[in-house]
């Protein structure tokens, strides 16, 4: 066997150290620790893969776990946010991390993505956090106590409901990079009227899905390119034909319209929906079915 000289050995060590130094910023940029950065559409990294895996484990179908925060992951995140009554923006931030970990109490010695998200919040707010590692150690414990003292909370180093609620107010929201477009109040009002007329007896997810179908049509070349154009297209929506489009929507209908515009699409890109018990035109059965929510079938 050929002997390796001390010079070669030393050179190898130097190269390994150099490569490692170069790799550290790359790994940090990839967000290796889930919770160490706010995630949103367009991002990539191992933390995105971890998030996709956790969502998949909780029965949210993200498709391929590829570390890419694309359309499907964004859609699943908005679905998760809607189901848990969070701000539906497709941005996975401190509040989302707490929710996905069942909003547990954070104490010295615990670990997880919700701890990393806590550390990120504290660091962003200029508290003394040097390492975001998802481990609630002494540094994090002291930073929490300092935060509680300044915000006139009980200074115990425990992040419970009161401290979390204060942090949620402290941290500015990140503007999502994607939404379904810029719509006027008149557009939102009309969309809420349609949702109320078509789906006021349906579960909330079904109401959002109805609004999403309208927006999917706006974005499709097969239909008019405005909300009003889609809704008032001839023979398309029952409330327009029977006058229920004029009924005053409730707040749930307005919220469903706004959350669909924010990016939540429970219809999974459907262009049609119908109640099988009230179908008047058999043609609708030729459309590929995507899913059923409540009494409505959604199809492409």
Q: What's the confidence (pLDDT) of residue 23?
A: 34
Q: What's the confidence (pLDDT) of residue 180?
A: 65
Answer whether residue 246 is part of any domain.
yes
Answer whether residue 10 is part of any domain.
no
Residue for token digits 């069942």?
Answer: 102
Q: pLDDT (tens digit, 9 = 90+) per residue, 1-51? A: 445 555 555 554 444 434 333 333 333 334 458 998 888 887 888 889 999
Q: What's the confidence (pLDDT) of residue 9?
A: 53
Same domain, 127 and 91: yes
pLDDT of residue 183 exceeding 90, the answer is: no
Answer whether residue 19 is part of any domain.
no
Predicted TM-score (pTM) of this structure: 0.52
Same domain, 192 and 237: yes
Answer whether residue 29 is part of any domain.
no
Beginning with the edge strand found earlier in the chain, give each strand of the sheet holding 289-293 in spatial order: 272-274, 296-299, 289-293
Contact 88, 261 (CB under 8 A): no
Lowest-confidence pick of 29-33, 69-73, 77-81, 234-238: 29-33
pLDDT of residue 192 exceeding 60, the answer is: yes
Q: What's the confidence (pLDDT) of residue 188?
A: 92
Q: What's the confidence (pLDDT) of residue 216?
A: 94
Q: What is the mean pLDDT of residues 77-103?
A: 90
Answer whether residue 175 is part of any domain.
no
Domains identified in the chain, total number: 2
Answer whether residue 5 is part of any domain.
no
- Record the tokens describing residue 40, joined without a space: 């949103």
Q: What's the confidence (pLDDT) of residue 274?
A: 93
Same domain, 92 and 144: yes
Same domain, 120 and 76: yes
Range(s) of the domain holding residue 145: 46-170
* 141 — pLDDT class (breaks 50, 70, 90): very high
Closest CA to 178 of 89, 45, 66, 96: 89
- Record the tokens describing residue 119, joined without a space: 């550390």
Q: What is the mean pLDDT of residues 153-175?
A: 86
| CATH code for the domain in which residue 202 is found | 1.10.10.2520
* 174 — pLDDT class (breaks 50, 70, 90): low
Distances (CA, A) of 267 to 56, 83, 270, 294: 18, 14, 5, 12
Q: What is the mean pLDDT of residues 148-174?
A: 88
Long-range contacts of 180-186 (CB under 8 A, 24+ apart): 180/215, 180/219, 180/260, 180/261, 180/262, 180/263, 181/215, 181/218, 181/261, 183/227, 183/261
Instruction: Read off φ and ψ for residue 135, nearest 5 degrees.
Output: -120, 125
Lowest-confidence pick of 60-69, 105-114, 174-183, 239-248: 174-183
Instruction: Read off φ and ψ for residue 296, nearest 5 degrees.
Output: -105, 140
Q: What's the confidence (pLDDT) of residue 26?
A: 35
Name the domain boundary from 144, 170, 196: 170
Measured CA to CA, the distance from residue 98 to residue 94 in angstroms comes to 6
């Amino acid at each position: 066997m050929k002997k390796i000289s001390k010079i070669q050995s030393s050179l190898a060590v130097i190269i390994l150290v150099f490569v490692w130094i170069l790799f550290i910023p790359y790994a940090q940029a990839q967000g290796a620790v889930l919770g160490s950065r706010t995630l949103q559409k367009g991002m990539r990294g191992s933390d995105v893969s971890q998030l996709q895996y956790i969502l998949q484990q909780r029965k949210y179908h993200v498709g391929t776990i590829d570390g890419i925060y694309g359309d499907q992951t964004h859609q699943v995140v908005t679905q998760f946010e809607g189901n848990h009554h969070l701000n539906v923006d497709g941005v996975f931030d401190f509040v989302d991390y707490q929710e996905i970990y069942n909003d547990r109490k954070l104490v010295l010695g615990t670990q997880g993505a919700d701890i990393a998200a806590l550390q990120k919040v504290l660091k962003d707010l200029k508290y003394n956090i040097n390492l975001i590692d998802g481990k609630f150690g002494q540094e994090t414990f002291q930073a929490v106590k300092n935060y509680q003292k300044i915000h006139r909370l009980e200074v115990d180093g425990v992040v419970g409901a009161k401290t979390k609620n204060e942090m949620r107010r402290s941290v500015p929201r990140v503007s999502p990079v994607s939404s379904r477009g810029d719509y006027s109040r008149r557009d939102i009002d009309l969309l809420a009227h349609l949702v109320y007329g078509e789906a006021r007896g349906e579960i909330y997810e079904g109401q959002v899905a109805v609004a999403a179908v309208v927006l999917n049509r706006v974005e499709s070349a097969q239909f008019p390119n405005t909300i009003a154009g889609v809704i008032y297209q001839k023979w398309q929506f029952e409330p327009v034909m029977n006058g229920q489009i004029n009924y005053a929507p409730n707040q749930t209908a307005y919220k469903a319209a706004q959350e669909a515009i924010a990016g939540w699409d429970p219809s999974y890109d459907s262009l049609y929906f119908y109640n099988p018990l009230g179908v008047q035109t058999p043609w609708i059965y030729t459309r590929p079915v995507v899913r059923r929510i409540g009494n409505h079938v959604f199809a492409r």
